[in-house]
Structure 1
């Protein structure tokens, strides 16, 4: 217990110290929200990766989908790396940075308003973001509380309140730069921690081969005729697995807290380096988490036949790790979760302030007052998340799936096509909003499928609805569209490493 407490105190001190150090970079709205658009490759890549993966993945998703799919759950981590990181950076990184700078947009709703000439889009999008980021934040707190209860024997209520207080201190004091620098430190801890945990868990089962053999001998309830289902290549439910891959990989392209990282990146060199760093980071963290969760059936026995998915990974850790490694895991999950929480808090509070309050209710809000309101809303957002997390009946994966499905299902199509296609119309954006919210809320009220599947359906639907509606609805004025895409044609001077000069014949 002493080692775990000491490690925790050191981590808290470092986190708060970085927040205090960065307070001078949080004076203006641009600095507080975007870090001055001058953030380097390593910091941005780690900020992207640590915002991507949190206690939700390590505790909730790894436990539930490792239990459901077995070793094939590792495909989710691979999809996160190749689609959610590599392809996202390649397709969205440069274009997002260029067009948002062209419009001087600090948030996704502001981008929608300027790209599609509609202030109403900005107001509605800001409300959607604030509402549906709250359950995601709550799911992170629930994941943290389960781990802390296992490690310290502390009631999960106090765990949640403690994490909320720590998040509030360093985000409100230091803004985006404090969150980003903490992400870098926390990301390094996560990389070392996940490798150590996976090796320790396999070691308790006699090594990789022995663990696979034991897992292959467990009969599958959903596919009894399939021998060794939990050790097979695609597992017992390939269709369900594909739905989770789509939700957790393609969904990141439409999440405001993820896309926001591209707003802040420094230059071309940083984008190229960040692409490689974030992809490798995702491969290790996500791949390692889901691979670890695949062996949950070797450790966890469902009481009365009822599986408590949020308890699977904590049980695995408690049975297989020595105290010192449990301390490392606590910092690993805490690092992942704190970075995700800080990203959610900044994205939601800044969006609500700049796009709803200032854009709709308080149009004459001064710069200094804007920063103050953003900080106040940071605290309010944390409070709402805590209240939801304290509900013992809310499941981690359900909360996250609702959040990701609604947000990405609403925003993915309008954002992606807005960067690439001149023919995207204003009404297609409204149609995407209605589709994303409608599918996920309907499934919440009258369930017709799993929350993850509903989220995946809404994400794919957004990519289909936007072009279909755009083909039959009035286009935006040509002058406006030409102005939007003129930013890509602007000439810039670069070194020979990035481009060759034109040679006349």
Structure 2
């Protein structure tokens, strides 16, 4: 315990120093929201990766891998191809150039100025401000569960303490403090994950022996999961079974594609001075994402073999039925005490890097995009502008704290997938086509954003079984958990309950963007050319 406390104090001393450094270098709104657009490529890549990968990935999805096994590695493939390569090369460069040409500071402002629409900026900012606290709560729950298991502290105390620490440097230091601390925290995370995977394989006798041991355990897969279509942790699931649909449409597709329209990630493209920095960031970011997600998913799956070898139980049984406790339990039970102490800091790093960015983007969505822009409010002085954004950050933090209190167990992966999918359906078509298609119109963007958002929410409320059953609106209005619950079991209509909303909402959003744009008036030629300036 003493080692953990001393290491933790040293870690927070460095974090607060970097937060103080960011505060000293923050002179105005541009510094607060975009770090002055002069960020080093390594710092940008580590900040991007640390924001992208958090306790929701390591604790939440790592725990899901303890349940579903190696199929979750397909999400790593999507993260690398879409979240790093396509994001940096095809989205990052044009976003940076267009953001500079239009003098944009936030993701909603980029959309709003591209389409000359206060409504688009305000609506996009409203969606982000309303729902990013759910994603932030998932990350908060992840680190709090880790501390709860590691230090034996009450969950509520941990929740309040972690929130207060992050709030202190995000509210005062802005984007510079966020990115400095992200780079430091991301470096800790990378080292810890390397040690974790090597040690896990060594406990099982090597790579081949470990995978064979997990393959031989297929008969131990819980009966409920077998009924849902699971064959084993290495064998995967029956194609088009309920759990196959959950893994591949929600976890792999929903999260893997949704990353392209994440506002807290998109804004980082606008913090670097040129394309060369983005090219360099691809290498740093790719290695980082591979270490984070690949290791978490492999270790999550292999934890079943390690636990069974040592205790005769699989992971979900060791974690008391809560998948969010699988990775924390594995670290505390199977890893050396020194590693447990440092890994706890790595999880602090993962949580704090993502939470700081979530709080920051939620606050600027309210302060800059809704209050100052969409509501036509004049915020004249730089100090007043920062104060408004800081107040937005405070409100976002409080909302995240409330969600972290009320959300149920085993919710981290679901809450993350919800926000990623919602952003993909609402923003991705308007964002992508706005970058590459001059014929994309204001009307097309409005219909796409609103239509994608509504379609995603309706599917969640009335079709997707997990959310529809938890919220209960469909039960209240129609007397059944989902609108397709009465369909014949095994039919394609019945299986829609496990199809992610993004499978339907994203294509619809693209169709609306293209269809409405084809039959509506284009923006003024001079504005369209301004958008493509230097692109």
Distance 1:388 1:397 in 2: 15
1:229-248 C-alpha deviation (Å, 9 max, x unpaired): 32237887655443222222
1:106-147 C-alpha deviation (Å, 9 max, x unpaired): 012212221112111111111111011110101000001110
Shift of 1:46: 0.6
Q: 2:233 aligns with which of 217, 230, 235?
A: 230
Residue of structure 1 in register with 2:475 after alignment: none
Shift of 1:26: 1.8
Shift in alpha-carbon separation, 1:267–1:459, aligned structure 2, 3 A: same
Distance 2:50 2:126 in 1: 25
Distance 1:183 1:224 in 2: 42
Residue of structure 2 in register with 1:501 after alignment: none
Match of 2:439, SS state, is coil
Q: Which runs of 5+ in 1 are unaligned?
A: 489-505
Distance 2:502 2:334 in 1: 34
Contact kept, 8 Å, 1:16 with 1:166, in 2: the verdict is: no
1:272 aligns with 2:247: no
Q: Which runs of 5+ in 2 are unaligned?
A: 308-313, 468-498
Match of 2:533, SS state, is helix
Q: How does 1:190-339 map to 2 (within 5 A)?
A: 190-217=189-216, 218-219=218-219, 220=221, 221=223, 229-232=232-235, 239-243=245-249, 244-298=251-305, 299=307, 300-302=314-316, 307-339=321-353
Distance 1:225 1:106 in 2: 46
Shift of 1:485: 1.9
Shift in alpha-carbon separation, 1:40–1:461, aligned structure 2, 3 A: farther
Q: Which moved more, 1:195-204 or 1:83-92?
A: 195-204
1:8 aligns with 2:24: no
Q: 2:408 aligns with which of 374, 377, 393?
A: 393
Distance 1:98 1:461 in 2: 28
Contact kept, 8 Å, 2:82 with 2:260, in 1: the verdict is: no
Residue of structure 1 in register with 2:479 after alignment: none
Distance 1:460 1:295 in 2: 36
Distance 2:97 2:457 in 1: 34
Q: Please, what TM-score do these two structures have when normalized by structure 1?
A: 0.90
Q: 1:370 aligns with which of 385, 389, 392?
A: 385
Contact kept, 8 Å, 2:444 with 2:513, in 1: the verdict is: yes
1:445 aligns with 2:461: yes
Shift of 1:346: 1.2
Q: How does 1:78-117 map to 2 (within 5 A)?
A: 78-117=77-116
Distance 2:8 2:227 in 1: 45
Shift in alpha-carbon separation, 1:6–1:235, aligned structure 2, 3 A: farther
Contact kept, 8 Å, 1:247 with 1:459, in 2: the verdict is: no
Task: Give the number of equivalent residue pairs.
Answer: 487
Residue of structure 1 in register with 2:421 after alignment: 405
Residue of structure 1 in register with 2:160 after alignment: 161
Residue of structure 1 in register with 2:441 after alignment: 425
Contact kept, 8 Å, 2:93 with 2:278, in 1: the verdict is: yes
Distance 2:124 2:352 in 1: 25
Shift of 1:176: 0.7
Q: How does 1:160-199 map to 2 (within 5 A)?
A: 160-199=159-198
Q: Which moved more, 1:396-405 or 1:325-334?
A: 396-405
Shift of 1:383: 1.3
Match of 1:487, SS state, is coil
Contact kept, 8 Å, 2:135 with 2:416, in 1: the verdict is: yes
Q: How does 1:68-83 map to 2 (within 5 A)?
A: 68=68, 70-83=69-82
Contact kept, 8 Å, 2:67 with 2:315, in 1: the verdict is: no
1:165-196 C-alpha deviation (Å, 9 max, x unpaired): 11111112221111111111111101100111
Distance 2:393 2:126 in 1: 15
Shift in alpha-carbon separation, 1:329–1:30, aligned structure 2, 3 A: same
Distance 2:527 2:174 in 1: 34
1:419-457 C-alpha deviation (Å, 9 max, x unpaired): 100111222222222233223322443243566822454
Shift in alpha-carbon separation, 1:375–1:226, aligned structure 2, 3 A: closer
Residue of structure 1 in register with 2:493 after alignment: none
Contact kept, 8 Å, 2:66 with 2:323, in 1: the verdict is: no
Match of 1:294, SS state, is helix
Match of 2:534, SS state, is helix
Contact kept, 8 Å, 1:28 with 1:368, in 2: the verdict is: yes
Distance 1:164 1:246 in 2: 31
Contact kept, 8 Å, 1:41 with 1:270, in 2: the verdict is: yes
Q: Please, what TM-score do these two structures have when normalized by structure 2?
A: 0.85
Shift in alpha-carbon separation, 1:235–1:28, aligned structure 2, 3 A: farther
Distance 1:234 1:393 in 2: 26
Shift of 1:103: 0.3
Q: 1:472 aligns with which of 519, 527, 530?
A: 519
Residue of structure 2 in register with 1:498 after alignment: none
